[in-house]
Chain A
Amino acid sequence: MAEPKITMKEVDHVARLARLALSDAEKERMRRELDGILSYIDKLRALDTEGVPPTSHAVPMTNVMREDEPAPSLPQADMLANAPDRSGEFFRVPRIIEE
């Protein structure tokens, strides 16, 4: 049997990096399906890309500048309206600092 492209340990690691809580059943399914996809993607290895520059964007553009002019922003109340939890003018989150 071919070496798996991705192990359960790696699935755990990547899920932690991605901040995704997965059930054990989801992790096993994820491992199997990612393995299949990565095996397909392996066909890229056959392609010689020596000296080929990478393309990150279809249109070559960097650092689009504009004048720094003050303009109205959306009202704070509008931006807070969708928050699952808030306190006054702040988004409230679970405690991150021990008392």
Chain B
Amino acid sequence: MLTDLTIHELAARFRRGDATPTQAAREYLDRIAALDSKVKAYLTVTGEAALARAAEADARFKSGTPRGPLDGVPLGLKDVFCTRGVRTTCGSKILEGFVPPYDATVVARLVRAGAVILGKLNMDEFAMGSSTENSAYFTTRNPWDLSRVPGGSSGGSAAAVAADLAAATLGTDTGGSIRQPAAFCGNVGLKPTYGRVSRFGLIAFASSLDQVGPFAKDVLDAALMLQAVAGHDPMDSTSAAIPVPDYAAELDGGVRGLRVGIPAEYFIEGLDAEVEAAVRAAVETLEGLGAKTESVSLPHTEYGLAAYYLIAPAECSSNLARYDGVKYGLRVPGARDLIDMYSRTRGAGFGTEVKRRVMLGTYALSAGYYDAYYGKAQKVRTLVQRDFQKAFERVDVIVAPTTPSVAFKMGERADPLSMYLNDVFTIPVNLAGLPGLSVPAGFTKSGLPIGLQVIGKAFDEATLLRTAKAYEAATRWHERKPGLAE
């Protein structure tokens, strides 16, 4: 089956003429038709457009002019990216029926690389959540256990890759929304450095934290996906004009002599025993491959979460002011006046978690509370950044658990704070703007995936990928597939 294959395996078949992009697109669309009623990863499937793009790719291979490693490869997109002519909901009722007039830069880059877009993937509303339970449409299931969540907010993107419903996908990560679902679903998820990838056309949640990145079946695929989307974009002033290295070329350097930091603050009470055992075993594996490990300290880790839940809601309360029932999306009729129309539209269009964060952010920014909350959080953010700067004076990468637990059951985390605590190990990386990656690191006795987080220096995704590749080659956890089909 072509749907089993990684991007690089698929590309090799296309080049040899053993398979065509149309065959691959058809197999994926058939598999989506057969299995997605169980997994519920897709909000929108763009079958017709996918087959049209695949036919164009067929012609390029036939004439010996393929565009590169993604040409003809079937991919999925989190529904947070604007796609020209394809409805984009961001998991929210307030954007129901919204059809963007332009493509996000990352989408345009994938399309230019020849990729075949299969559709748009489910997510927590406006990327606020850790389970997809905040989607206004439905909850995506974890392919390893359909009674459990896939993680979030990019849960559809992670589940689609795990269930072979796309060769790879794009998601976004504001506080862990790529790495946490990648850990829960057993795939490779990469949050690049803030500024590495353009956010033009990405529906904004928290602009100082949001970053775009891939979910992939293995580390090489993640490198190929990052390569396709990374780099400066004049349309996003926060994208960095820093050269993008050839990630695939640097992948196989190994970890001999690499200095790996282990942060004591990530092995705390509340860390699941099986997760801890898997991460400690991974550290030993890296040592066996020649890495030099040492303990590092990130003393402000426990304050990161509290700071994040002021900064992110504050930014979201400002960003989401644009949903006013005027330019696009929902408008509730029968309003007394303009303000009443705004309030009723927003009251009806936003879900509970979005309202909660808009309220929290507005409160934290309001007169009398600004210094005590938002101002304080920004100072704590500086302390979290300094922790990492200090650690990276001594080590090249940091490895830690991605999440304190494995995938939880649907409905288990009804209290918002217990849901937030799930992001405790991923949030500090966003606050510091650093790159972070989750790579499969084993399974619990009950068969649920465990993620190993690798954190790197700013713009040093190459070392993250190299570390993860060496570990992957030594363990091969990524080859295990969920037993979904019948």
Contact = CB atoms under 8 A, between A and B. Distances in A.
B329 A34 contact: no
A1 interface: no
Interface size class of A (residues with CB under 8 A): 35 or more
Contacts of A64: 237-238
Interface string B417-429: 1001000000000
A96 B309 contact: no
B378 A84 contact: no
B356 A44 contact: no
A79 B84 CA distance: 12
Nearest to B350: A20
A20 B343 contact: yes
Nearest to A49: B379
Interface of A is mostly: loop
A20 to B, nearest CB: 5
A82 interface: yes
Contact of B417 (A36, A59, A66, A95): A36
Contacts of A43: 302-303, 306
Given A18-B317, A20-B347, A44-B377, A81 B416 contact: no
B347 A14 contact: no
B379 A81 contact: no
B325 A84 contact: yes
Interface string A35-74: 0111011011101010011111111010010100000001
Interface of B is mostly: helix
Nearest to B234: A66
B360 A84 contact: no
Contact of A54 (B209, B381, B432): B381
Contacts of B208: 56-58
B303 A54 contact: no
B383 A47 contact: yes
A9 interface: no
Contact of A6 (B300, B339, B363): B363
Contact of B346 (A21, A40, A75, A93): A21
Of A40, A56, A83, A84, chain B has the most CB atoms within 10 Å of the CB of: A84
A94 B362 contact: no
A37 B417 contact: yes
Of A20, A82, A93, A95, chain B has the most CB atoms within 10 Å of the CB of: A20
Contacts of A95: 337-338
Interface string A9-42: 0110111011111100010001001101110110
B394 interface: no
Given A14-B363, A40-B306, A49 B328 contact: no
B473 interface: no
B303 A33 contact: no
B358 interface: yes
A13 B376 CA distance: 22
A20 B420 CA distance: 23
A86 to B, nearest CB: 10
A58 B431 contact: yes
A59 B423 CA distance: 22
A33 B343 CA distance: 21
Interface stretch (B16-24, B98-106, B221-229, B252-260): B98-106
A54 B359 contact: no
A49 B329 contact: no
B87 to A, nearest CB: 10
Given A52-B382, A59-B194, A93-B338, A18 B234 contact: no
Contacts of B380: 44, 47, 49
A17 B362 contact: yes
A93 B339 CA distance: 10
Contacts of A54: 375, 378-379, 381-382
A61 B356 CA distance: 31
A47 B301 CA distance: 12
A41 B417 CA distance: 10
A3 interface: no
B375 to A, nearest CB: 6
Contact of A18 (B209, B238, B302, B359): B359
Given A58-B195, A78-B101, A81-B99, 20 more contacts: A14-B359, A15-B359, A19-B324, A19-B342, A21-B340, A26-B355, A30-B356, A37-B356, A37-B416, A41-B309, A41-B310, A57-B208, A58-B385, A59-B240, A61-B237, A79-B327, A82-B98, A84-B329, A91-B326, A94-B338
Interface of A: 6, 10-11, 13-15, 17-22, 26, 30, 33-34, 36-38, 40-41, 43-45, 47, 49, 52-59, 61, 64, 66, 74-75, 78-79, 81-85, 91, 93-96
Q: Which 6 A-B pairs have the closest CB atoms?
A: A58-B433, A21-B347, A54-B378, A82-B328, A84-B331, A78-B101
8 contacts: A10-B363, A14-B359, A19-B343, A52-B382, A58-B208, A82-B99, A84-B325, A95-B337
